A and B are shown apart, each in its own frame.
Chain A
């Protein structure tokens, strides 16, 4: 699903240049649930941003679902993001003047899905995250866990190839974190490919594979026995 070869990225800070990613190589197969771990400054967010086409690499190859991702202009990047990727953010990033259902329907709107179909799909995905009754509520009327579940429903709505989650539990208490992880695991069980950036070991243990980043290189890449979140819920 994802192939990355010798990926480099550096940021210019005035005169100094900060080499953040120093040659990353890794592949992700379809249906994997990967945790990308590392302390802050290890380059894990940069990697996720490049995977999410929110940022570009300096050199290296990135192939997503057999499509080489290079020379993107903004319009093309937007189309690829919409088609291939679903995003879940630490701070939920819901649009606060739109209801839960409208938020979920947003990626479909950009795909020019007809209005009625959009609404049906939005409800379907809200149901999947268990928030069908909250469809008409604004984000400000939802709890943190509910917001993240709406965000996950939104990420799923476009039926992306890969789900990218940047610290999805970072702003949640541990009980809600496990609920969200339970949801992510169930989505993964349906065959979706998911990448999670986290620095919490217990969250990483709930994935099927852990990639450890340090100072811009992968120091460890291992498959693990998945801990199911269900038991904590």
Chain B
């Protein structure tokens, strides 16, 4: 293949009619260009939507209690119940492959009144009693101090981690935050850290939260063993969607709820939502490949056509070569290589133009600021490699029929052609 004479000949043949070669290669280049652009656009959309998800652990479900709708074991329907802290242990014992189970209790919430006081300032904030693992499920950046830790849980320490939104409302500019006290529903908590969440489009709400240790929360606000809701994350290998039935089943048994009572336990499967979006991305990619390859196909047919014409023009030459003793497969190889070479070169040009185009779009996006649901359209090296594979394959495809027809010509007939 790396034969000087062969390459020399390929170049001679392709450069013998420059305009025709260019026109042919345009078809293939255009096809690859479209493919790259489509994939990049899909990727941009994907990036945009992924940015909305942030780095939330997506393999997660949230679970909360509601009223029962069926009577069971002598208990009436319409009963109000609460998860208990022992349910967490039961889930942990009975369901494998779970990474985190974070029970949580909550104060405040949408529309409720002021619940936090510091000196003369007051505010309405969501207050969560949480385990330290929650920071892995709902990522946030600790901007000063620390987050809740297991010693806090153990000792039921009344400490709090507050969001920047809380700090802005309760503290003056430049005031020391760490070590000060805030009063949550009449109970003092010491502030040990501040956090900032990534802006996920939810406005300021995410920054106006207060995290305190779960145990301290239960004690301070008379929750007993009650658990308001749970955030449960599975290990990466196993999907939470497959485990949720089992988790809910364990809880139902512990709380004496009829196994068929579908409404007693409410849950939200983040992974399922995420998967739905994921499969949309998959479909988008598929459409991009489909359309791109179809456009490319017309380019390939163009190459194939030109190769057929080239062979027609060179019929006599092929006859001479065969009379001089060139083996048929050698002629076939020559034509296939010409076709692959032409396809790859024009494809490369298409890729380069595609990349330049994407670069331009990115530059424009950067200068006009963020656009909704569209971030950093790009193609990965993997896409370029697969584009190259497609090109080599299409070059073979384009050259195959012409090569076949070239060796079908018998030398004696080829020599007679004038």
Contact = CB atoms under 8 A, between A and B. Distances in A.
B321 A52 contact: no
A79 B327 contact: yes
B119 interface: no
B317 interface: yes
Interface string A74-94: 110011111100010101011
Contacts, number: 63
Given A54-B412, A78-B325, A95 B320 contact: yes
Contact of A110 (B317, B330, B418): B330
B328 A74 contact: yes
Looking at chain A's contact residues, is the secondary structure mostly helix, strand, loop, or mixed?
Answer: helix
Given A78-B322, A110-B327, A97 B16 contact: yes
Interface residues of B, number: 24
B329 to A, nearest CB: 7
Contact of A95 (B317, B327, B407, B418): B317
A121 interface: no
B411 A54 contact: yes
Contact of B316 (A75, A93, A97, A109): A93
B200 interface: no
A7 to B, nearest CB: 16
Residue from B316, B322, B418 whose CB has the most chain A CB atoms within 10 Å? B322
B121 interface: no
Contacts of A75: 327-329
A205 B220 CA distance: 128
B412 A78 contact: no
Given A54-B412, A55-B412, A78 B326 contact: yes
B12 interface: yes
B18 interface: no
B233 to A, nearest CB: 65
Contact of B323 (A81, A94, A97, A115): A81
A95 B318 CA distance: 9
A154 interface: yes
B316 A115 contact: no
B4 interface: yes
Interface in A76-132: 78-83, 87, 89, 91, 93-95, 97, 106-107, 109-111, 115
Interface residues of A, number: 27
Looking at chain B's contact residues, is the secondary structure mostly helix, strand, loop, or mixed?
Answer: helix
B325 A82 contact: yes
Contact of B324 (A80, A91, A106): A106
Contacts of B411: 54
A171 to B, nearest CB: 12
B365 interface: no
A210 B316 CA distance: 31
A112 to B, nearest CB: 10
A62 to B, nearest CB: 16
B415 interface: yes
B323 A52 contact: yes
A75 B330 CA distance: 10
A109 B5 contact: yes
A79 B325 CA distance: 6
A158 interface: yes
Contacts of B316: 93
A49 interface: yes
Interface in B281-306: none
Contact of A78 (B16, B317, B327): B327
Interface in B318-370: 319-330
A132 B329 CA distance: 33
A154 B319 CA distance: 15
A6 to B, nearest CB: 22
Nearest to A75: B327
A93 B320 contact: yes
B324 A97 contact: no
Residue from B4, B319, B322, B325 whose CB has the most chain A CB atoms within 10 Å? B325
A96 to B, nearest CB: 8
A158 B325 CA distance: 10
A89 B415 contact: yes
A61 to B, nearest CB: 21
Contacts of B325: 78-83, 107, 110-111, 158
B214 to A, nearest CB: 81
A81 B324 contact: yes
Interface string B1-40: 0001100000010001000000000000000000000000
A18 B4 CA distance: 47
Interface string B372-411: 0000000000000000000000000000000000010011
Interface in B137-194: none
Instruction: List the 4 shortest-distance A-B pairs measured between CB atoms, nearest first.
Output: A82-B325, A54-B412, A81-B325, A78-B327
Interface of A: 49, 52, 54-55, 74-75, 78-83, 87, 89, 91, 93-95, 97, 106-107, 109-111, 115, 154, 158
20 contacts: A49-B412, A54-B323, A74-B407, A75-B328, A78-B322, A78-B326, A78-B327, A78-B328, A79-B325, A81-B322, A82-B324, A83-B325, A91-B418, A93-B319, A93-B323, A95-B321, A97-B12, A110-B326, A158-B324, A158-B325
Given A78-B322, A80-B325, A111-B325, 6 more contacts: A74-B322, A81-B324, A82-B324, A93-B316, A95-B321, A110-B330
